[in-house]
Amino acid sequence: MEKTKILLVADGGVTKELMQKMYELEQYGAEITLVEDTDMPSMGYITDRMGLLERQGINAAPSCKALLENCADKEIIVVHVASINREVIEASPKLKVAAVLRGGYENADVKALTEHGIKLINAPWRSADAVADFTVGMMIAENKNIARSHKLLFEGKWCKNYVNQSYIHNMNRSTVGIIGFGYIGRRVAERVKAFGAKVIIYDPFQKPEVAEQAGCTSVSLNELLKQSDYVTIHMR
């Protein structure tokens, strides 16, 4: 049986060592080729690249040379930040699936992939828990004035009365409004509900039943803004 040819493109974020785990696919009939995007050696370069693509679009960044040199006979291409643009797609006549190991897929030309009948896979859940943890951490920091008191202590000051003292509540007496109830929004809801907070959500792309199943209430955007002690946004 002919093997499925897969091209893996590593970089400074998802390294060769991490990509090598995909060699396990060989036991299922895959033939793996692993290359490296040397233009993206560290997270600093990756952050700049993704910012460029988000601001200016898929054609703002050049194609990865190693990707172009190895894509001609591949059915599956797996990348982190290397661009799967029209140049790459047209150089990959056998391509069936393009996979981006990120929550977003700004580095993939969705229009060109669709025109060629190529499926696109991304990983929207990849950073969901980390973002949800940070979000709740920021809420607690605001609720208990952690950052403010930390700064004042370093200045040799001790403050008992903060500007939010008259209206801030413990989390179990607060309403948290979540705009966008996808992978991240749902995880934020799970966390703040554990504190006893009431959770309301606004997401025009989700059915009300989805919120109800998570123990939350779906409301209009205006109503969410009126009711919420905290508002957190998790949609583009």
Distance CA 64, CA 69 (A): 9
Give the pLDDT band of residue 164 (cuts 50, 70, 90).
confident
Q: What is the pLDDT of residue 124?
A: 86
CB of 67 closer than 8 Å to CB of 79: yes
d(CA 200, CA 146): 25
Helix (H) or strand (E) segment spanning residue 128 = helix 128-143
Q: What pLDDT, on the 0 to 100 scale, is given for residue 97? A: 98
DSSP string computed for 206-227: S-HHHHHHTT-EE--HHHHHHH
Q: Partners of 8 in the beta sheet?
A: 34, 78
Query: Which residue, among 121, 129, 88, has the nearest Cα to 105 in the 3D structure?
Result: 121
Q: What angle do CA 57, 184, 109 make, to 5 degrees?
A: 20
Bridge partner residues of 31 (DSSP): 5
Q: Domains in the chain, please, with CATH?
A: 4-121 (3.40.50.720), 128-233 (3.40.50.720)
Q: Which candidate, 169, 173, 178, places its Cα nearest to that of 217?
A: 178
Query: Tens of pLDDT along 32-81?
Result: 999 999 999 899 999 999 999 999 999 899 999 999 999 999 999 999 99
- Residue (of 108, 76, 79) closest to 92 by Cα position: 76
Is the pLDDT reported for residue 236 higher than 80?
Answer: no
Residue, of 231 and 163, whose pLDDT is higher: 231
pLDDT for res 173: 94
- At residue 63, the pLDDT reads 94
Nearest to 74 by CA among 1, 2, 4: 4
Q: Per-residue pLDDT averaged across 153-173, rounded?
A: 90
Spatial separation of the C-alpha atoms in residues 11 and 101, rounded to whole Å: 11
pLDDT of 1 > 80? The answer is: no
Instruction: Give me the pLDDT at residue 125, please.
Output: 87
Confidence of residue 160 (pLDDT cuts 50, 70, 90): confident
pLDDT band at 18 (very low <50, low <70, confident <90, very high): very high
pLDDT of residue 47: 92
With contact defined as beta carbons under 8 Å apart, do 30 and 4 qualify? yes
pLDDT digits (tens, 9 = 90+) for 101-121: 998 899 999 999 999 999 999
Predicted pLDDT at 154: 94
User: For 162, phi and psi rounded to 5 degrees?
Assistant: -105, 160
Flag whether pLDDT at 22 surpasses 80: yes
In this structure, the strands spanning 217-218 and 198-202 are parallel
DSSP state of 198: E
pLDDT over threshold 90, residue 100? yes
Number of alpha helices (DSSP H) and beta strands (DSSP E) in the chain: 10, 9
CA distances from 115 to 54, 89, 122, 123, 151 (A): 22, 10, 18, 22, 54
> What confidence tens digit (pLDDT) does each residue in 165-222 have?
888 889 999 999 999 999 999 999 999 999 999 999 999 999 999 999 999 999 999 9
